[in-house]
Chains A and B, each alone.
Chain A
């Protein structure tokens, strides 16, 4: 099977799925719970570095490393989220951004993260001694994505989702309904961060080499724009926003479209994203797939 699929396409799809997972986590924090985060790349990086450290430096089994990485991201997201949650929504953007920069700076300078050199030789996980092939890894990422879509869907309909909705719309009301807003906000950061941790771990084992450059502000801002353009607070919005905006520049690369200088595709991409963010906020602030009122029928009594 490997033979007839261009490995480049496989990679694009794996990275697309990983970005969707990142987007879902960010949408949980920003779209569902209403807490703007401009530091999502930090959680992604924590996931990636954790699994890299466990599997390369400590030599744990990759599966176990991934699991531990997700747990660590969950916990660290909760802790890092804590100071941010004392501030009003617009300040949250600066605090999360600051946390993102501090995290990236840590990745670049700390010894444990390999400093400026990063970490190399992150192993591909294997099943019964068989190392996963590219196609199998794609399948793995796809399954994880489906599971996480389901989890997010269920969470949004749960007591947690209800609390997040109320917090997003009006914190005073949320509190007066008995919602411990701090707890639910921390939980949103922790779960959304854990999503990013999953994405980061999957990314690290895919590329086998990570360095701090990947986990910067540009990624956080790009993700936010994708999620916002797709539509905050909806799963469809994230699927759409991330897919279209992630694949658009790739289309130019794959079909080798020469209208624009290929070296500048990423720059043009960012010009477009920025412009779209401004235009969307003005004309369609709820995004392409904005959240709609859920129509509910009364259950018929037996």
Chain B
């Protein structure tokens, strides 16, 4: 299988603290990869490095054959890596539909002039964006909420809309930051189904998650971070049985939040 993403020796320091320390990671195309670890392990920092919010102090990131180390967040998105956020970040005062349309931003081209003069290309593009967004809402069963303010939705639906926004442009890879947080078991179930669907459409998935039961069942592979160091990488069932991982989780109870997470 092809490696879609290849990260080598990724290190990020904040002052004296090394949040991510010499992490190597290879993600294969079409994989569902779970990234777990105790609070403060550096998972979100890792996402922020991958999405260009932080620049790694050391290391190199190859995506789809392109060196994307040091790319700006918008350049990374344009390479086809989309993400959701741990604390849902929707445009709360805008409709669900407008939020989804935002996900298609990178695929539209009509600039200022053609919009001002209402040229055909820009009108066709507007139509296409609207239709694709509606189609996705339909698939997710959110059509009725299309014109609701995103901020008024239930927590679970906000998560779904955020995932939909990341998904609508059919990115190569999608990063989900604790998508199941605050969900009941039924919602987790439907979320897992959605993640499998995402993979079906050809998008590779990395997710950060605390719900170990869910990741073991859902992911092809698990990677464990502890204090910024990768301590395990492999088959989910084996990884969670790994004494080092168990130790990290138990020891991790006392570790207070330090970084990002």
Touch A–B, Cβ below 8 Å: yes
Chain A residues at the B interface, C-beta cutoff of 8 Å: 150-151, 154-155, 157-160, 162-163, 165-166, 169-170, 172-181, 187, 191, 291, 293-296, 298-299, 301
The answer to whether B118 touches A293 (Cβ under 8 A) is no
B residues adjacent to A (C-beta < 8 A): 51-53, 72-74, 77-78, 82-83, 85, 89-95, 97-98, 101-103, 105-106, 108-112, 115-116, 118, 122, 126-127, 130-131, 134, 143, 146-149, 165
B94–A293 touching, CB < 8 Å: yes
Are B116 and A155 in contact, CB atoms less than 8 angstroms apart?
Answer: yes
> A299 touching B131 by the CB < 8 A rule?
yes
Q: Is the CB of A178 within 8 A of B115?
A: no
The answer to whether residues A296 and B147 also contact, given A166-B91, A169-B91 and a CB cut-off of 8 A, is yes
Question: B78, B98, B112, B126: which contacts A294 (Cβ < 8 A)?
Answer: B98
Q: List 18 A-B contacts (CB under 8 A).
A: A154-B115, A154-B118, A155-B115, A160-B112, A162-B101, A162-B102, A169-B91, A169-B93, A172-B53, A172-B85, A173-B90, A175-B73, A175-B77, A176-B82, A177-B105, A187-B112, A293-B95, A298-B143
Nearest-Cβ distance from residue B176 to partner chain A, whole angstroms = 13
- Give Cα A299 to B118, complex, Å: 18
Would B106 and A293 count as touching, CB distance under 8 A?
A: no
CB contact between A158 and one of B77, B90, B110, B146 (< 8 Å): that residue: B110
> Which one of B52, B92, B134 contacts A298 once the chains associate, using CB atoms below 8 Å?
B134
A31 to B214, CA, bound (A): 43
User: Which residues of chain B come closer than 8 Å to A162, judged between CB atoms?
Assistant: 101-102, 105
Contact of B94 among A155, A169, A176 (CB under 8 A): A169
B residues less than 8 Å from A291 (CB atoms)? 93
Shortest distance in angstroms between B69's beta carbon and chain A's nearest beta carbon?
Answer: 17
Q: Which of A155, A157, A158, A181 has the most CB of B within 10 A?
A: A158
Shortest CB–CB separation between residue A292 and chain B, in angstroms?
A: 9
* Residues in A neighbouring B90, C-beta threshold 8 A: 173
| B143 proximity list for chain A (CB < 8 A) | 298
Interface centre among B95, B112, B126, by most A CB within 10 Å?
A: B112
Question: What are the residues of chain B within 8 A of A176 when measuring CB–CB?
Answer: 51, 73-74, 77, 82-83
> Is A159 a contact partner of B97 (Cβ separation < 8 A)?
no
Chain A residue contacts of B109, Cβ below 8 A: 159
Shortest C-beta distance, B219 to chain A (Å), equals 23
**C-alpha spacing A48/B20, complex, angstroms:** 55
Distance in angstroms between the alpha carbons of A291 and B106 in the assembled complex: 25
Partner of A178, one of B78, B92, B95: B78
Q: Residues of B contacting A160 with CB < 8 Å? A: 111-112, 115
